[in-house]
Amino acid sequence: RPPNLYSFRDVDRDLAPNLRRYVLDQQNEAFKRHDVFRVAISGGSLPKTLAKALLAPPNGSDEDKVDFSKWEIFYADERCVPLDHEDSNHRLVQEEWLNKIPKDMVQPKVYTISEANLDDAQETADEYEQKLVAVFAARDSVKLPLFDLILLGCGPDGHTCSLFPDHPLLREQDAWILSISDSPKPPAKRITLSLPVVVAAAKVGFVATGGGKKDVLKKIFETEEGSKLPCVLVNEGAGEKVSWFCDQAATEGVSFP
């Protein structure tokens, strides 16, 4: 079954409240499964949109409660730079979202990369993978970590996480966390979830907003040319577990299947 596609008129008024509903549905399902919500997120414009969605005042119903005390946040991709560096996704997520969570709420647990071996992207990836093994393998004794939700952006070239079009990393089958030292988008050294980990998640949500996404959404949803783009591989691999949250500016003129 194909992914779910949603196009909203306006980010603040329509997309953000619907994204909130979606994320909290996944949170509530995860709490029923194991009393914790494990979510992986990307950088880009996503953290700002997440802040709009999740820091809005609750409507008072049980389903609408955000319980950050049981959230475990991981990075879908991260740049091999210190955590306070301007290129760090962690820094971006903190500035755009996490630092704005009211201080009287119990804060989410955030799994950051180690700063010990940043020159060595593979070592940084291995260390991050060990953190995931400690969290996921204990309970699931799994071949792959099973995130409750992975929230992603979509680059203008069709990349997602730090999985870039035609890159050999797309063929990796076993590792959970991969390193890349030749990222076409700077900085060159990064770590990323592997495609099998993304596809294994309970749910995958893409957020793509603004007119700059029109061309790539056309490629992803309309043309054969798009068939090997990383976003397409996620759509194909995870099917109906995937939802796209777009705005009208991004989907104008795109005909979805």
Q: How far is the CB of 207 from ligand 6PG (least distance, A)?
A: 7
CA angle 35–40–41, rounded 5-degree value: 135
- CA pair distance 71, 147, nearest whole angstrom: 12
Q: How far is the CB of 170 from ligand 6PG (least distance, A)?
A: 14
**46 binds ligand 6PG per the rule CB under 6 A:** yes
**165 binds ligand 6PG per the rule CB under 6 A:** no
- By beta carbon distance, the residue nearest ligand 6PG is 44
Q: How far is the CB of 138 from ligand 6PG (least distance, A)?
A: 28
**108 binds ligand 6PG per the rule CB under 6 A:** no
Nearer to ligand 6PG, 58 or 156 (CB): 156
Output the six-digit token pair for 177: 């966390």
Q: How far is the CB of 105 from ligand 6PG (least distance, A)?
A: 26
**230 binds ligand 6PG per the rule CB under 6 A:** no
- Which residues in 168-207 contact ligand 6PG (CB under 6 A)? 185
Residue from 15, 30, 39, 44 binding ligand 6PG (CB under 6 A): 44
Q: How far is the CB of 161 from ligand 6PG (least distance, A)?
A: 6
**47 binds ligand 6PG per the rule CB under 6 A:** no
Q: How far is the CB of 89 from ligand 6PG (least distance, A)?
A: 5
Residue from 47, 108, 145, 155 binding ligand 6PG (CB under 6 A): 155
CA-based end-to-end distance of the chain: 12
- Which residues in 79-98 contact ligand 6PG (CB under 6 A)? 89
Binding site for ligand 6PG (CB under 6 A): 42-46, 77, 89, 153-155, 162, 185
